[in-house]
Amino acid sequence: MKIDLLLMVFVVEIFFIVLVVWIAWSSIVGAPWVPTPINKVRAMLEFANVTSNDTLYDLGSGDGRIIVMAAKEFGAQSIGIEVDPFRILWSRLKIRWYNLGQRARVIRANFFKTTVENATVVTLYQGYKINKKIREKLANELKAGSRVVSYRFILDGWKPVKTSEDESIFLYVV
């Protein structure tokens, strides 16, 4: 009985250690994972006027909520770029659940090292420091007229064409 209790305590401790390392890991390789609220996802996609003619890239796609909604409700081709294998798995399960395999996918990659030249829309919920770094990449790779929509953090040095202060959404056009 005492051995069973010790084993159970050990398993619970290991579980929490793995959980903490997993959460901290995303902070080490990039920004911490903070999911965009669903109402903000919809507002971002509406704000950028996403349609079925768009190819959307979500940089740091987390659990895939943006790419899934963009494909499911707006008809866009959606690509998520994510480094965390657990969140990629979760995203792929959601894509399969909603039968969106023809419209949405997620790839395991560092978005700084992945081209986004085919995007007509890029979504961001990163921090100020990452947005500062990513703007040159976006300026170099995106075609004229491409839209970049950022939640909560501006792209310093770029002037938004549309801002929703109450929603904390900023829309830029290249």
Number of independent structural domains in the chain = 2
At 1 the pLDDT is 63
CB atoms within 10 A of CB 15: 10
**Same-domain check for residues 86 and 5:** no
- Which of the pair, 38 or 12, is modelled with greater confidence? 38
CATH code at 97?
A: 3.40.50.150
- Which of the pair, 156 or 18, is modelled with greater confidence? 156
For 108-124, the pLDDT digits (tens) are 999 989 999 999 999 99
For 142-172, the pLDDT digits (tens) are 999 999 999 988 888 899 999 887 779 999 9
Cβ(82)–Cβ(62) below 8 Å: yes
Nearest CA to 46 among 67, 73, 64? Answer: 73
Q: Whole-angstrom Cα distance, residue 5 to residue 23? A: 27
**Same-domain check for residues 68 and 99:** yes
**Same-domain check for residues 163 and 97:** yes
- With 0.85 as the threshold, say if the pTM is over it: no
**What would the mean pLDDT of 87-101 be, rounded to a whole number?**
95
At 74 the pLDDT is 97
- Which of the pair, 33 or 19, is modelled with greater confidence? 33
